[in-house]
Chain A
Amino acid sequence: MQNTVAQETAPYATTISDYQRDLENLCGDFGYMRDLANAVKHKELDASKKPSTQMVGMANTEVSMAAFQPDAFQGNAFQTRTGIVSETAPAIHVDFEKAADAVMSMWNKLFATHGWW
């Protein structure tokens, strides 16, 4: 329900901070994407940027061999693959590709919903 409300109000937020909050309500990974984009630009994140995650900079992101579970009902369910992973809080890791898919999907829906094409 919250997402529906945010989807209706997102483009009409009157401040960029409200808009950021609406977008994070639509897709939790958008906060991570903002922090990563700011880390790319500034190398390090400081408190004045009010990061959405606990990332401190680009050092939190690396190419990593990560374990994942494609299908729990398969005998060899746990596999590994190489991907880009960010540590967004102690012991909390975000798979960049999945986050990018989610944020891209959010933008696709927003553009379709609001006729921004």
Chain B
Amino acid sequence: MPLILDKAAFQNSLASLPLVTYLPGETVIVDGSTTDRLLILKKGNVAIVKEDTEIAKVAEPGAVFGELSVLLNQPHTADVRALETSQFHIANATALFEQNPMAVLHVATVLAHRLDGANRALIQLKHQLSTGAPHSVIAKTVSKMEALFAVGSAKAKVVNSSEYKFQVVDQDYADYKQDPTSLRLAYHLAVSLFHLRDWTFAEHSGAGNCAVCDHHQ
């Protein structure tokens, strides 16, 4: 029998936890600090920042922050900053794990997804190395792995990756479908659908440079 977490039940189980709200630009977690707290994103959008470089964005409700620090008893390894007003359930990690088995399963599932994603990225990296892929392509795969290791969400997106851009295009497509007679939305979608060419080319062809905007060929 598969061990599958009921996400709705898990969200409900967090209802009694205190909520904390961060405004855009505020730091939620400081790199190097130790807090023994878990933060579970209820709503909002945050950036993971390492050494002043934004490596991922997370907007998925249920994303967990601080779990590695708690489980390994070590300081946090990245900053987490609010990009928009963001609300978190906040919990004492020890108490939460003792009292809420769903929280344990949730964190275990998130970690399993990250390990699985990192394994896939490692296989991709080995393939790229064995085929002599350009440095820019290898660097992108390393960035993807870095984000997987740093973020407590299975759906964290590496900023500027084509998969992240696809999400943006997907949203533009959904917006246009809501109003198919809007020229503004149609133009916006046309530009997004076209720019995906440059993003995927830059990421997957080895060209290493993005031709968006200035070099429409």
- Show the binding face of A for B, using Cβ within 8 Å: 11-17, 19-20, 23, 30, 33-34, 36-38, 40-41, 49-50, 61-63, 82-84, 96-97, 100, 103-104, 107, 110-111, 114-117
B183 close to A (CB within 8 Å): yes
> Within 8 Å CB of A19, what residues of B?
197, 201, 205
Least distance between B185 CB and chain A CB atoms (Å)? 9
A40 to B187, CA, bound (A): 7
Residue of A11, A17, A104, A115 touching B193 (CB-CB under 8 A) = A104
Which label, helix, strand, loop or mixed, suits the secondary structure of the B interface? helix
Cβ-defined contact, B183 with A61, below 8 A: yes
B169: interface (CB < 8 Å): yes
Partner of A11, one of B166, B180, B181, B200: B200
A100 pairs with B190, CB closer than 8 A: yes
Given contacts A83-B180, A84-B180, A96-B186, contact A37 B201 (CB under 8 A): no
Residue B43 is within 8 A (CB to CB) of chain A in the complex = no
Q: How far is the CA of A20 from the CA of B162 in the complex (A)?
A: 16
CB of A25 to closest CB in B, whole Å:
13
Known: A16-B215, A34-B216, A83-B181. A116 touches B194 (CB 8 A): no
B interface, CB within 8 angstroms of A: 124, 162-163, 166, 169, 173, 176, 180-181, 183, 186-187, 189-191, 193-198, 200-201, 203-207, 211, 213, 215-217
* A-B CB proximity, top 10 nearest: A37-B194, A11-B204, A36-B190, A40-B187, A37-B191, A37-B190, A103-B193, A84-B186, A38-B216, A19-B201
- Chain B positions within 8 Å of A38 at CB level: 194, 216
Q: What is the minimal beta-carbon distance from B156 to any residue of chain A, in angstroms?
A: 13
Please tell me if the beta carbons of A100 and B193 are within 8 angstroms of each other in the complex.
yes
Q: Which residues of chain B come closer than 8 Å to A12, judged between CB atoms?
A: 204-205
Give the nearest-CB partner of A32 in chain B.
B190
CB–CB B166/A16 < 8 A: no
How far is B1's CA from A106's CA once the two chains are assembled, in angstroms? 37
23 contacts between A and B (CB under 8 A): A11-B200, A14-B205, A14-B206, A16-B197, A19-B197, A30-B194, A34-B194, A34-B197, A36-B187, A37-B191, A38-B194, A40-B187, A82-B181, A83-B181, A84-B181, A96-B190, A100-B186, A100-B189, A100-B193, A104-B169, A111-B166, A114-B204, A117-B163
Which residues does chain B contribute within 8 Å of A110, judged by CB atoms?
200
B199–chain A nearest beta-carbon distance, Å: 10
Q: Which residue on A lies nearest to B188, using beta carbons? A: A40
Given contacts A19-B197, A84-B181, contact A40 B191 (CB under 8 A): yes
A97 to B, closest residue via Cβ: B180
